[in-house]
Structure 1
Amino acid sequence: MTDMALEPARAAAEPAFDRARALSAFKLGDKTFFWVTRLSALFVLIILGGIIVSLIIGAWPAIRTYGFDFLFTQRWAPSLQPTPILGALGPIYGTIVTSLIAMAIAIPVGLGIAIFLTELCPMPLRQPIAVAIELLAGIPSIIYGMWGFFVLGPFLADHFEPAIVSAFENVPILNTIFQGPASNLSLFNAALVLSIMILPFITAISRDVFATVPPVLKEAAYGVGCTTWEVVRNVVLPYTRVGVIGGVMLALGRALGETMAVTFIIGNSFKISGSLFAPGTTISAAIASEFAESDGLHQSALILLGLLLFVLTFCVLTAARLMLRRLERKAGA
């Protein structure tokens, strides 16, 4: 009788013990997940900090020797003795100019393709065109460089550039920007190849964010008599502007840091020219073409160029983040 009287109490106590053990296991799993994710985030910051510190250490001899004059000196003479004359103005100029031209070409074309795919393209053609555009992002940079060197460069030098030079030779300012002679290797050729390389990023991201627009919004706009252009301008773009700007900034980051394709077709000249058809160089192209044969102060100056590219990219991405945050706050308000 005594054992039978104790059985209900034991039955009531066993589930309570199991629940406590289960809660303890859940808490352990939560803590493990928290620390794994936290350590992963810290690991990324450690890697980033290590890259910055290593760049500063490697660039310190050049920083100590040239100071801020490095940013404003155009001449690049690493073989000059006893102290080489090295300046970053030419690579900085080439990086900014080629990236801006590439963005000016790629943004309207990429947005146009994305709008066509989401609003106007027949359904059977949407997926094949989208896959073809996205495949461009998978082509290695060196293939773009070889194509630009052997195909695009000669075509532009033989047909496009002479026509542009002739058309603007009597127009002030433009006759300087598009001054001859035509060349296979130039800032414009590099910018054109860059625009083709970043086009898939803008198109793919814009198409994905355009697809998130609720159909009821577009149907309501069409219902009150809006044209397709008015729907895109007043409904689609305002609704997706944060995502579109994010895609554009991602493409800009790719354009700023592109190396091999640009090295093939830009000409690797440190001299600054007012003509887009003249040879030039970028920060990444200068590092790629000279780092293997550099040493001493020359190598330190190339590392300093890498540090400048890192800072430039960081500033661009930070500005993009601030812009997106401001747009999000404005939309929330």
Structure 2
Amino acid sequence: MTRFWGADSDAGTAMNPPDPTDTESGRVVAEPLPGPPVVRTDPSGKTRVRLGDRIFGGLARSSGIAVIALIVAIGVFLLWRAIPALTRNQENFFTFGGNWVTTDTAAMHFGVAELFQVTVFVSLFALVLAMPVALGIAIFLTQYAPKRLAGPLASVIDLLAAVPSIIYGVWGLYVLAPAIRPFALWLNDNLGWFFLFATGNASVAGGGTVFTAGIVLAVMILPIITAVAREVFVQTPHGQIEAALALGATRWEVVRTTVLPFGMSGYISGAMLGLGRALGETIALLIILRGTQRAFGWSLFDGGYTFASKIASAASEFNDQYKAGAYIAAGLVLFVLTFAVNSLARAAVSGKGRS
């Protein structure tokens, strides 16, 4: 019902014109209509929550807390078992890069400087080799390959992840190394002036070098990066692709302007998952890399030990708590390194998604 100011309230049908001197003359005031009833949707309120929702919420919270507690427990266990050996170490644990001497448990000599260098170097080399190949495979399978061909090819790529590590190690040392020996010798002879291809502490012809190990490791992490990138690229909105094609874009321009920007965060995330896999690889690198007495020199033709292969090579010494503690301390550093890499990757992906 609408009421006009200036109307005679005593007259049933009479209405006086508004007074021009009145500042509120002619203003129409409408009675507000009653709104719909407010329905509470906040589960934390006083509304009744179903039993199934409470059970599911409790299980979800318990699972998250259990995962965090498990990670903390692993770290605490490694630190607890490493402290006795660290107290008997005569060297700086973080800067010593020489040969480990743990026979005399009263005066031990060990450190992780060289292990850290070899681990990071071979993992980054494998990542540099695997990322472009994985990107090309993912783009081909999602944007270029016919559907009847994309499925079988994707299955073949995924099957690479099912091959055991020991098979990769044997294949790398006895099949791949002889096959790439001429190319490795050519790099060493013609580009040896550059530190990456300089003569290292291992035999180039023997194949037990970072060069061979990095190629094998790249093949091992290729399925992980490819699978994640493929699943992200295939989620690109079809509307954006069709709009780009309608504007006259070529297939590659569609990939460059729509698919890659949409899936870049997923591609980076897959690469970081592959890097985490490479940092912890054990058996394949233990078979391929040759341990030497000479210092590591950041050459692709160096040998050495990674964290994981060093620990695996000394399994016979784990019957003594101090000897085992030295290798557990190395494992603790690897644990922290992997955790830091995954945390940085998550932060980078989150920033990429927000941008």
The TM-score by the shorter chain falls in which range? 0.7 to 0.9
Q: AA paired with 1:86?
A: F
The answer as to 2:150 corresponding to 1:126 is yes
Q: AA paired with 1:288?
A: A
Aligned pair partner of 2:209 in 167, 186, 207: 186
The answer as to 2:350 corresponding to 1:325 is yes
1:52 maps to what in 2? 75
Which whole-Å CA distance do the structure 1 matches of 2:313 and 2:350 have between them?
39
Structure 2 segments unaligned to the other structure (5+ residues): 1-46
TM-score of the two chains, using structure 2 as the length reference: 0.80
Which whole-Å CA distance do the structure 1 matches of 2:217 and 2:99 have between them?
25
Which whole-Å CA distance do the structure 1 matches of 2:90 and 2:57 have between them?
44
Which whole-Å CA distance do the structure 1 matches of 2:151 and 2:58 have between them?
41
- Cα displacement (A) at 1:154: 2.7
Structure 1 segments unaligned to the other structure (5+ residues): 1-22
1:241 maps to what in 2? 264
- Cα displacement (A) at 1:209: 0.8
SS in 1 for 2:50: helix
The answer as to 2:316 corresponding to 1:292 is yes
Contact 1:71-1:87 at 8 Å conserved across structures: yes
1:99 maps to what in 2? 123
The aligned runs of 1:16-35 (5 Å cut-off) are 27-35=50-58
2:249 maps to what in 1? 226
1:303 maps to what in 2? 328
Number of paired residues? 305
- Cα displacement (A) at 1:31: 2.0
- Cα displacement (A) at 1:296: 4.2
Which whole-Å CA distance do the structure 2 matches of 1:256 and 1:67 have between them?
27
The answer as to 2:289 corresponding to 1:266 is yes
2:26 maps to what in 1? none
Aligned pair partner of 1:176 in 198, 202, 208: 198
1:5 maps to what in 2? none
SS in 2 for 1:151: helix
Contact 1:153-1:265 at 8 Å conserved across structures: no
- Cα displacement (A) at 1:238: 0.7
> Once superposed, what is the RMSD of the aligned Cα atoms?
2.2
- Cα displacement (A) at 1:80: 5.6
Q: Could you say which structure has the higher helix fraction? A: 1
Moved more, 283-292 or 261-270: 261-270
Aligned pair partner of 2:274 in 251, 255, 270: 251
Contact 1:177-1:274 at 8 Å conserved across structures: no
Identity, % of aligned positions: 39
Per-residue deviation, residues 100-142 of structure 1 (Å, max 9, x unmatched):
0000000000000011111111232111111000010111111
SS in 2 for 1:84: coil
TM-score of the two chains, using structure 1 as the length reference: 0.85
Q: AA paired with 2:347?
A: L
Higher relative contact order (CA 8 A, sep 6+): 1
